[in-house]
Every structure is written in structure tokens, then in C-alpha cells.
């Protein structure tokens, strides 16, 4: 590993260990490189620093600057409801009444003091209509043998609520270097010996990869895993926001600003960049990231509303929440397990195998 130990970091004179043999490296003024007196390897100073830092930085991104460019919603027929339980602020148009919170199913009350709110940069309108819910839910539960019978009741499906969930879409370019430790293995016979040969390498990769519309949900109440699973969305269908799109649906206000969300977008972009660098080293085995120095350049963000149907259910005292992509119809969530059905399958399989196999073995 090209890392400094904690003791070394704490010292005034920074030094690095040779990745090949572990000896302390010395700077050679003649070559301008770090050299290992024990094994003779030479390393670029920048590479060693990059590997030692192992860090990630980003160019300036200011939510304050971005917020200043967002317009206020000016349509005063817009209504705001407040959830008594979880505090969600739900927007809808003047013709739609909200009675229950899409997040926690608690009662909501209208808030007369509508302060306008920030207008999203765009919206993907609902394409999947409510009358398709039954078939979507049926195919989601199809083949799930441990699912309790009648878990998704017709009432639950009829009560499904379409919600525009606030998302931040981040653009940016990840630029920098990744250092990998890698191996090549070879096996061969030499005289009366079998030889296993392992060659060790250090691979330096430097470059950049750009990303467009990496979504991160801006609602703290919404389960991140659920929202990341319900995608992908076709962002080519983003259109300008109009309050009319809210008719018949609810919209949540973001309660997590992009400064708090950009870390997750960055994490995903960096994982993809490392994977991309890794794909250029196909001839090696046991590839491990020894260090990285990556920067997120020119991050920018859009505030959009994406369509999601939410179904809340209870079973065995536990809450279950399902999300259906309002553009594609993809349904995600965790289904409950019926103990009765699980026991029936377990003892059925166990009993059948014990009797049939036991009889066959005893006849042999």
C-alpha cells in the first residue's frame, strides 16, 4: 500500500514507503523521483502523494448561489398540507385535496400560509395511470411463494397516492488519478518441480469521466435505497414545471439541500470512475485500489420533481413501503414473509427429500 502510517503522518518530515518492499523512500535530486535504496524502484512524487492522500476534493459549489437563481412558485392556487406526524410539506394544485401523508399515512392538515416555495427547474409528468396499479402490483407479487395471501388488498391499491418526489440532478466531471496494486499469476513445471509464480505490479491511471443527471432524492423522509432502486428515469422527458401537472397528485418539498446531497452523487460518480479505470487493466488479477486522488470538477445541479406512486402497508406490526416509478411502472420494495407459508415449504421440502432419498438409499 502506498499509504503513510499514522506515526509517519504525525511527523514533520513526510516520507513514503516503497510499495514493493516497504522500505522508506528517499528523494533523489538527480532523477527528481523517490527512490528505494533496498530494491532500486523509482516513483513519481505526484503518484506517491496522490496515493497517500487517497482523498477526494471538489471544485466550488455553492447552494446559496444556485438558490438565488431559482424562481418562486407564483401560482397562488397552490395548496400546502402539513403532515401532523412526520412534518412533510405536501404541495398540490387548487383542485386536489390531500387527506393522508404519502410517507407515513398520517392525517394531513391544510396550511393557509403558503409562502410560494421554490419552483423546480423541471418535472417528469406521470405517464402510468392509476388504473394500471392492479396489474403492476399483481406482477410484482407473482411467483413470490412466501408472500401472505391478500397482502395487497384492493383497497390498498385503490388508495395508492401519486407523489412528485423532489430530486437533485447533478452534473460534473471526475478528474484525477487512481493507483492500483495488481498481480499476474503463472503456473508451470520445471524439472521435478511445479512452480507458482506471482508478479506484482503498480498501475497508475489518470484521466476523467463526465456524468449527467445523477439523481439524489431531496426528501429526508424518503428512504434513499427505495428511491435509488425505483430508477432509472428517462430524463429526456423532463419538461418545464407547471402547477397544472400537480392536478390529482401531491408534490413534496425538498428538505435536504444540494450541499447535503452532493456527497452521495460524488460517491456514485467516483465509484464509476474507479470502475472505468479498472476496466483498462484486464490482464491483471487481484486488482486493489492502493490510493486515489480524484476531484469533482464543475459540479452543477438541477431541481426536478419525479413521479412516484407510494403504497404503504402494515403486516405483523411492521410498516412496508413500496414505490412505483410513475414513468416506467417499475415497482420496488421488500415483501413480508408469511411464517405459515415459510414453515409449510420448509417442512414440505425437508419431508419429501427425507422420505424419497431415505427409501432409495435403503434399497441400494
Partner 1 sequence: MYGMILLFADFTVKSYIIAAVIGLIVALITISIMKGGMKNVAKSRNAANYVAKDSFRLRTSNDRFLRKEEKRTKKQTNS
CB of 268 to partner 1, least distance (A): 4
Q: Which distant-in-sequence residues (6+ apart) come within 8 Å of 43 by Cβ?
A: 16, 18, 19, 25, 33, 34, 35, 36
User: What grid cell was written down for 281?
Assistant: 487493466
CB of 227 to partner 1, least distance (A): 10
Residue 93: closest CA among 104, 105, 77: 77
User: What grid cell was written down for 223?
Assistant: 428512504
* C-alpha–C-alpha distance, residues 308 and 155, integer Å: 19
CB of 346 to partner 1, least distance (A): 5
CB of 203 to partner 1, least distance (A): 5
Q: For residues 162 and 126, is the Cβ–Cβ distance under 8 A?
A: yes
Output the DSSP codes for 244-275: GGGTTSEEEPP-S-HHHHHHHHHHHHHHHHHH
CA angle 34, 23, 1 (to 5 degrees): 80
Q: For residues 122 and 255, is the Cβ–Cβ distance under 8 A?
A: no
CB of 146 to partner 1, least distance (A): 5
CB of 323 to partner 1, least distance (A): 9
Residue 67: closest CA among 298, 259, 261: 259
Q: Which is nearer to partner 1, 66 or 201 (CB)?
A: 201
* C-alpha–C-alpha distance, residues 36 and 53, integer Å: 20
Q: Which is nearer to partner 1, 18 or 108 (CB)?
A: 18
Q: Which is nearer to partner 1, 211 or 241 (CB)?
A: 211
Q: Which is nearer to partner 1, 87 or 336 (CB)?
A: 336
* C-alpha–C-alpha distance, residues 89 and 80, integer Å: 7
CB of 9 to partner 1, least distance (A): 23
145-149 long-range contacts, CB within 8 A, separation 24+: 145/341, 145/345, 146/335, 146/337, 146/338, 146/341, 146/342, 146/345, 147/335, 147/336, 147/337, 147/338, 147/341, 148/315, 148/336, 148/338, 148/341, 149/338
CB of 2 to partner 1, least distance (A): 11
Q: Which is nearer to partner 1, 131 or 186 (CB)?
A: 186
Amino acid at each position: 500500500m502506498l499509504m503513510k502510517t499514522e506515526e509517519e503522518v504525525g511527523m514533520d518530515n513526510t516520507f513514503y514507503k516503497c510499495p514493493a518492499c516497504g522500505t522508506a523512500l528517499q528523494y533523489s535530486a538527480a532523477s527528481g523521483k523517490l527512490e528505494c535504496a533496498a530494491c532500486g524502484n523509482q516513483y513519481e512524487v505526484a503518484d506517491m502523494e496522490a496515493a497517500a492522500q487517497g482523498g477526494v476534493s471538489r471544485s466550488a459549489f455553492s447552494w446559496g448561489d444556485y438558490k438565488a437563481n431559482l424562481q418562486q412558485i407564483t401560482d397562488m392556487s397552490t395548496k400546502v398540507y402539513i403532515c401532523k406526524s412526520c412534518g412533510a410539506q405536501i404541495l398540490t394544485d387548487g383542485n386536489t385535496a390531500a387527506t393522508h401523508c404519502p410517507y407515513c399515512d398520517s392525517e394531513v392538515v391544510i396550511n393557509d400560509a403558503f409562502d410560494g416555495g421554490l419552483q423546480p427547474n423541471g418535472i417528469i409528468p406521470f405517464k402510468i395511470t392509476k388504473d394500471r396499479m392492479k396489474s403492476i402490483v399483481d406482477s410484482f407479487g407473482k411467483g413470490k411463494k412466501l408472500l401472505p395471501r391478500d397482502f395487497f388488498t384492493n383497497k390498498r391499491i385503490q388508495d395508492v397516492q401519486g407523489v412528485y418526489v423532489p430530486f437533485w440532478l447533478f452534473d460534473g466531471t471526475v478528474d484525477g488519478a487512481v493507483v492500483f496494486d495488481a498481480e499476474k499469476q503463472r503456473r508451470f513445471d520445471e524439472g521435478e518441480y511445479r512452480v507458482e509464480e506471482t508478479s506484482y505490479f503498480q498501475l497508475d491511471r489518470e484521466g476523467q469521466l463526465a456524468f449527467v443527471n445523477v439523481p439524489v432524492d431531496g426528501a429526508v423522509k424518503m428512504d434513499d435505497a427505495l428511491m435509488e432502486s425505483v430508477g432509472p428515469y428517462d430524463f429526456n422527458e423532463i419538461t418545464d414545471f407547471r402547477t397544472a401537472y400537480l392536478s390529482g397528485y401531491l408534490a413534496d418539498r425538498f428538505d435536504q439541500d444540494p450541499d447535503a446531497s452532493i456527497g452521495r452523487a460524488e460517491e456514485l460518480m467516483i465509484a464509476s470512475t474507479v470502475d472505468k479505470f479498472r476496466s483498462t487493466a484486464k490482464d491483471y488479477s487481484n486488482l486493489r485500489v492502493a490510493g486515489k486522488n480524484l476531484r469533482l470538477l464543475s459540479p452543477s445541479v438541477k431541481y426536478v420533481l419525479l413521479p412516484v406512486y407510494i403504497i404503504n402497508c402494515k403486516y405483523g406490526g411492521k410498516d412496508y413501503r413500496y414505490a412505483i416509478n410513475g414513468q416506467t411502472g417499475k415497482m420496488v420494495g421488500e415483501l413480508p414473509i408469511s411464517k405459515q407459508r415459510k414453515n409449510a415449504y420448509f417442512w414440505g421440502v425437508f419431508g419429501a427429500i427425507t422420505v424419497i432419498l431415505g427409501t432409495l438409499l435403503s434399497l441400494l
